[in-house]
Amino acid sequence: MLRHITALILTAVLAGPAAAQDRAVPLTDGDIKLSFAPVAREASPAVVNVYASRRVADNRSALMDDPFFRQFFGRDLPMPRRERQQNSLGSGVIVDPSGLIVTNNHVIAEGTDVKVALSDRREYECDVVLKDEQLDIAILKIRDGRGDFPALPIGDSDKLQVGDLVLAIGNPFGVGQTVTQGIVSALARSQVGISDYQFFIQTDAAINPGNSGGALVDVEGALVGINTAIFSRGGGSNGIGFAIPSNMVRVVIDQARKGGSTVELPWIGAEMQPVTADIAETLGLERPSGVLITSVIEDSPAEEAGLKVGDLVTAVDGAEVSDPRVFNYRLATKGIGNEAELSVNRDGRETTIRVPLEPPPASAPREEITVTEPSPFQGATVANLSPAVARELNMPYRGQPGVVITKVARRSPAARVGLAPGDVIVVVNGTEITSTEDLAAITSDNPLLWRLTLDRGGRIIRLAFR
């Protein structure tokens, strides 16, 4: 029904699916008077407001805010601990009539109570089914709902082209549901600094705070993206907004339906880097393109498929890749259990290599412990390094054994000396650390001097403490 209505109203704008030759710009007064109202009317009921709240400790006191009181009693007078409610507001999209909702992880990340309000003002409590910080996607499920909720169909974001008309629907600034219109400004934005599997749709449709998690829909009313961020110097829309493509969203929804609480993304066991202008010149390329394989882990899917250091991967399943983030995105949308066909330039010759997509293995037992002994590591949680742990921490894995910091308690000795999640503990007091058992044994000795060697993102750091 929606496709039929849209086809009648937008014939001059978009008369068919995604083929480039079917696209047309408005040329007459009649074309300009065409309305997006039917699309907005059909899509808006599936976009909800998301409210997340939690109780946090508040050490502030009204008395301590009084300069006269502080003058006599100082700042360190013990005060009764209070709690206050912290709220966040965003948007979400119903993608299944049973009440399955997609939103951004940052909208509900710290919330303990999550509610949604529909456009008809019905309100429901929700359970968080799945959330992934790196993808910035969360899946909610309406609790005790009777089902048959309005839902948006999920479109194919790979069919979008720069210049396509899109609508952004959400709840900016908490003022209520709003629809804005624009075009796709760019595709494959991978240098935005928002998530680790970056491949964003850029749009000039107005996106403001509160739109996070809302819908980006095409003129056929299909969900093509989840609005996630804006580029702004003043907090408002400057015509540069970013949305997570629907093809990535579909992967997360499928895993939520299968009962997953986190997203498992493919791992092939190869490290890579983008091709710069200098590298392109060295390789004899006409222009920088593709990703260069810099390391291949032993017994990994990449090694078994035949990938080698120095290989230049130019495309995945025929889609060009420009940097490692785009490469990871292409693998992620293929999904675990499938194969990816890589177009590879090796020594100037083109070849095709098929790589199986597997979950990152826990090649070493995790054996996670929290250090409680007095030491620079006190308050840090550590685990044996493996591809699975490296994926959780968004760090490279080069096949080496080791111990990595996974969490650091606030105000702990470990936090005070500057230790952080992702730090790999290499050497402590001259002893190489290859397991959490090694670290536990050394911290129980309680030496007078601590000499540490850490690997932080490939940079070696040496510290000493008494």
423 is a catalytic site residue: no
412 is a catalytic site residue: no
Number of Cβ within a 10 Å radius of residue 83 = 10
Gap between the Cα atoms of 257 and 47, Å rounded: 20
Gap between the Cα atoms of 465 and 136, Å rounded: 38
Gap between the Cα atoms of 464 and 178, Å rounded: 56
Gap between the Cα atoms of 419 and 422, Å rounded: 9
Phi, psi torsion values for 9, nearest 5 degrees: -80, -35
Buried b (16+ CB within 10 A) or exposed e, 388-409: bbbbbbebebbeeebbbbbbbe
Specify the DSSP class assigned to residue 44: G
Within 281-423, strands assigned E span: 291-296, 312-316, 319-320, 339-346, 349-356, 369-370, 380-384, 403-408
Choice among 44, 88, 96, 106 that is catalytic: 106
Choice among 157, 185, 212, 300 that is catalytic: 212
- Which element (helix H / strand E) includes 334? helix 324-334
Number of Cβ within a 10 Å radius of residue 370 = 15
Choice among 91, 96, 132, 136 that is catalytic: 136
Phi, psi torsion values for 34, nearest 5 degrees: -60, 150
- Which element (helix H / strand E) includes 393? helix 387-393
Residue 384's SS3 state is strand
| Amino acid identity for residue 66 in this structure | D
212 is a catalytic site residue: yes
- Which element (helix H / strand E) includes 324? helix 324-334
Q: Please, are residues 251 and 332 in contact by the beta-carbon 8 Å criterion?
A: yes
Gap between the Cα atoms of 182 and 180, Å rounded: 7
Q: Please, are residues 440 and 370 in contact by the beta-carbon 8 Å criterion?
A: no
Residue 168's SS3 state is strand
Residue (of 139, 143, 156, 37) closest to 93 by Cα position? 139
Instruction: Please report where in the chains the tokens 């308690």 appear, as a residue.
Output: 409
Residue-level length of the chain: 466
Which DSSP string do the residues of 266-310 spell out, in sequence order? -B-SEEEEE--HHHHHHHT-SS--SEEEEEE-TTSHHHHHT--TT
Gap between the Cα atoms of 90 and 116, Å rounded: 10
Instruction: Please report where in the chains the tokens 């049973």 appear, as a residue.
Output: 98
Point out the residues that are catalytic. Answer: 106, 136, 212
